[in-house]
Chains A and B, each alone.
Chain A
Amino acid sequence: MSKSHFADDRIQSLDIMVALPSIVIGVGILSFPSTLAQSTKFADGWVVVILGGLISIFFTWAVTKLGAKFPHQSFYSYASHLVSKPVASIIILLFSLNGIFLTAFEVSMIGFISHQYLFEQTPREVVSIAFFLAVIYAVAGSRSGIFRINLLFSPLIFLISFILIFFSINFMDVDHLLPLFKTGMDGYVEGTIQSALSYSGFGVLFFYIAFVCDPEKVPKRAVAGMSSVVCLYLFIYLTCIAVFGHAPTGEIRWPFIELAQSVEIPGGFFERIEAVFFTIWITAIFTTAMIGFDITILALQMIFPKRDKIVLIFILAPIIFFISLLPKNYMENHYFDIFIGYVSWLLPMIVVILFWIMYRIKGGLENGK
């Protein structure tokens, strides 16, 4: 339509910094304090939040550092350089499958959680499809548009979290946090795995780093982005423990939403903010689903370069929606959750380790070609 001032697919390293929290923060955080409280004692979970966070930060760094070695190159091009074309294609297919499952999971979670806090009668399918249509609409736009959505939503997400934490101060009981360091070694190990799993999502960086105009800055920025997530998780975890106490946190299904339910904002217009909170949190889940979907399309476009984006979207959308309807109850959904958690951790982890080894053997591309 017009020559644009901004090349459309180009993003800045700053956008990566914001995109990373957007994909990591989703439904995981809602149940996160509960999972940790089950494996650690009292407030000791903060140790594993940080340990798990450090592990994820390390892998984030590893992924972006590798990407920065191949500036302005698509994942496919440097993957084929490192591990030959057929292997690269398989890896990309796996990533797109991961994206499909991730999106389907978020869509299905929306259905489940809104049934818990917003609706009773509305069919889950309707709730999911309304959400999914919004995701499709956003993904059908430009890629830089997706990053702009992240930029606009992430302050909102951080803001609502900190408002919630701020108003919880009244309900906190320091006794709940004490005593310190009573967890056994097993608890720490298990907790670290659990907490690391909730930081999954750095795999997207493999793909997005190709579009960044200043790739050399990305590792630093991505680490900053991941660190902000770790900080947020830490605050949320400590707040939940301080407000509910250790035992109830482990028992509550979604402590973070429950936190909103317990908090009363003085003189507020809303008596119970959990619906408002969850509603705003939908934007966080939205960004995760959106990036998941976008990665799928990006990955598939590398393998099928002739296919139009919109065509891909319309082919994938029914598949994703169908998968999202598969879990019929909370147990199945729980297993889905665990599956997604492991897949979106192990896949990028294995790939980045493999790539680094190959990089050491083969070295980089000459002249950037």
Chain B
Amino acid sequence: MESRCRFAFLCSIIPFILTGCWDEVEIDKQVFIAAVAIDLAEDSDEEALVEVTEHLIVPSALGSVTNPRPGKAYHNLSSTGKTIYETAKAISRQESRKANVEHLGLVLISREFAETEGMLKNIFDVFIREQYMRRGILVVITEGKAKEVLHIDAEHVSLPSVYIVDMLENDQTTMTKDPVKLGDIHEKLLTNRSYSLPYLSVVTEKILKYDGVAVIAEKPSRMVGALTGDISEDRHFISGKARQSVVTIQVEGNPATLEINELRSRYVLLNENPDALHFRVDIELDALIKEYVGQLDLYDEENMKIFTEALENEVHKRAVRVLEEVKDGMQVDILKFDDFLRIHHNELWEEIKNDWDYGENYFADSDITIVVEANIESPGTSLKGNQ
């Protein structure tokens, strides 16, 4: 009986092997898309809305560790169309091999595109819906045309996409600490919350710069502005992620530079009236003195107070500047006050969540007080300032 069963089984399995392989595509017959740039379509027919540029890897030009090859190992193809998927299909007509999106790790969007109302929300959908794409895809906004960035001719790596991803993930300064992944955006989109994206600009033909963050409002869905330079870094004083950020203060006319070693921020809601919300942000920080050319004795209680006060004032000043820019200027909450309300004041949040930073905009109407408490942890290896 068993052998008859086995025989029947063999007979039925053979057709599979004979019919062949539907999904088989040799790895060398595929072309990997490492990054996608999205721009507004220009001057073509009026139907087209987006211009998609695919950044394709040419593996054979990459060389190996023992046998590196100079020159670029990528090529970029562009096309325009109504939706991303449609455009991608159009691009595939220019390709000689089957496109593979499984190694897509980066999406670049031009500022111009992001600022156009309603565009941003629509393009993310395809990246989330397509099962071969990862939720870990990094998303950035570029100052100029996004496709220009993909033509950057970096000197140390052969692929612009690798250059950008490294820049986003590994360069751990305060500003660049949190690369934004597609999965994060998905969550924001579903809950209708605003968010920020890394903001890059081209410095020269060979160098890119991490400028700051682009602020995306959810309703209407568009980019409302960019926080660049110090402000983008200073927002972390409020959000509480400002480790390793550097603050320079003036102590009796001499500059002193301190590095923030540890920073905690806590939000407190003082007034629950939706029309006059009042928050207090408690910032506690520990700092290390890194550079000081004054003459004060650092082992003096009084002197330390001077330092502490100066630091507190400086941080307070910067935090207030951020608030002015974000709350009063852009009127968009990227500082996670919404999460705070959702978790700690859920009833209130349910009431106002649909008018938080749009519509009624309770966020812009709220008052925020900032309280800073600094602690100087160590003066470094020398006790006195050097003249």
Bound CA–CA A363/B107 (angstroms): 71
Interface string of B333-354 (1 = CB under 8 A from A): 0000001001110100000000
A-B contact pairs, 17 of them (CB 8 A): A117-B131, A126-B16, A133-B12, A133-B13, A175-B343, A179-B344, A244-B187, A245-B191, A247-B187, A247-B190, A248-B187, A251-B186, A261-B135, A262-B183, A272-B134, A310-B1, A310-B4
Chain B residue contacts of A120, Cβ below 8 A:
23
- Describe A's contact surface by its main secondary structure: helix
Chain A residue contacts of B136, Cβ below 8 A:
262, 264
Interface string of B114-130 (1 = CB under 8 A from A): 00000000000000000
Bound CA–CA A32/B136 (angstroms): 23
| B343 close to A116 (CB less than 8 A) | no
Q: Return the chain A residue nearest B339 by Cβ.
A: A175
| B346 close to A179 (CB less than 8 A) | yes
| A182 close to B346 (CB less than 8 A) | yes
How many residues belonging to A are interface residues under a CB distance threshold of 8 Å?
Answer: 33
Counting residue pairs across A and B whose Cβ atoms lie within 8 Å, the total is 63
Q: Return the chain A residue nearest B133 by Cβ.
A: A261
CB-contacts of B176-225 with A (<8 A): 183, 186-187, 190-191
**Most B C-beta atoms less than 10 A away, residue of A118, A179, A308, A314:** A179
Taking the closest CB of chain A, its distance from the CB of B265, in whole angstroms, is 14
Bound CA–CA A258/B135 (angstroms): 8
Given A133-B13, A137-B9, A310-B5, are A119 and B23 also a contact pair (CB < 8 Å)? yes
Given A130-B16, A244-B183, A244-B187, are A262 and B344 also a contact pair (CB < 8 Å)? no
Bound CA–CA A179/B346 (angstroms): 7
Asked if B299 CB lies within 8 Å of chain A CBs, one says no
> Which B residues are closer than 8 A to A by beta carbons?
1-2, 4-5, 8-9, 12-13, 16, 19, 21-23, 102-103, 131, 134-136, 183, 186-187, 190-191, 339, 342-344, 346
Chain B residue contacts of A314, Cβ below 8 A:
8
Q: Return the chain A residue nearest B349 by Cβ.
A: A179
- Describe B's contact surface by its main secondary structure: helix
Bound CA–CA A32/B208 (angstroms): 44
Among all A-B residue pairs, the 10 with the closest Cβ atoms: A121-B22, A247-B190, A122-B22, A178-B343, A245-B187, A262-B135, A179-B346, A119-B23, A247-B191, A140-B5
Chain A residue contacts of B22, Cβ below 8 A:
119, 121-123, 126
Taking the closest CB of chain B, its distance from the CB of A254, in whole angstroms, is 9
Chain B residue contacts of A133, Cβ below 8 A:
9, 12-13
Q: Return the chain B residue nearest A245 by Cβ.
A: B187
Q: Return the chain B residue nearest A178 by Cβ.
A: B343
Chain B residue contacts of A247, Cβ below 8 A:
187, 190-191
Bound CA–CA A244/B13 (angstroms): 41
Taking the closest CB of chain A, its distance from the CB of B87, in whole angstroms, is 20
Bound CA–CA A129/B339 (angstroms): 49
Bound CA–CA A310/B23 (angstroms): 34
Asked if A136 CB lies within 8 Å of chain B CBs, one says yes
| B183 close to A248 (CB less than 8 A) | yes
Q: Return the chain A residue nearest B343 by Cβ.
A: A178
Given A179-B346, A310-B1, are A122 and B187 also a contact pair (CB < 8 Å)? no
Q: Return the chain B residue nearest A1 by Cβ.
A: B2
Bound CA–CA A137/B13 (angstroms): 12
| B23 close to A122 (CB less than 8 A) | yes
Taking the closest CB of chain B, its distance from the CB of A116, in whole angstroms, is 5
**Most B C-beta atoms less than 10 A away, residue of A118, A179, A248, A258:** A248
Bound CA–CA A215/B127 (angstroms): 54
Chain B residue contacts of A264, Cβ below 8 A:
136
Chain A residue contacts of B1, Cβ below 8 A:
308, 310
Chain A residue contacts of B19, Cβ below 8 A:
126
Bound CA–CA A209/B102 (angstroms): 48
Bound CA–CA A120/B30 (angstroms): 15
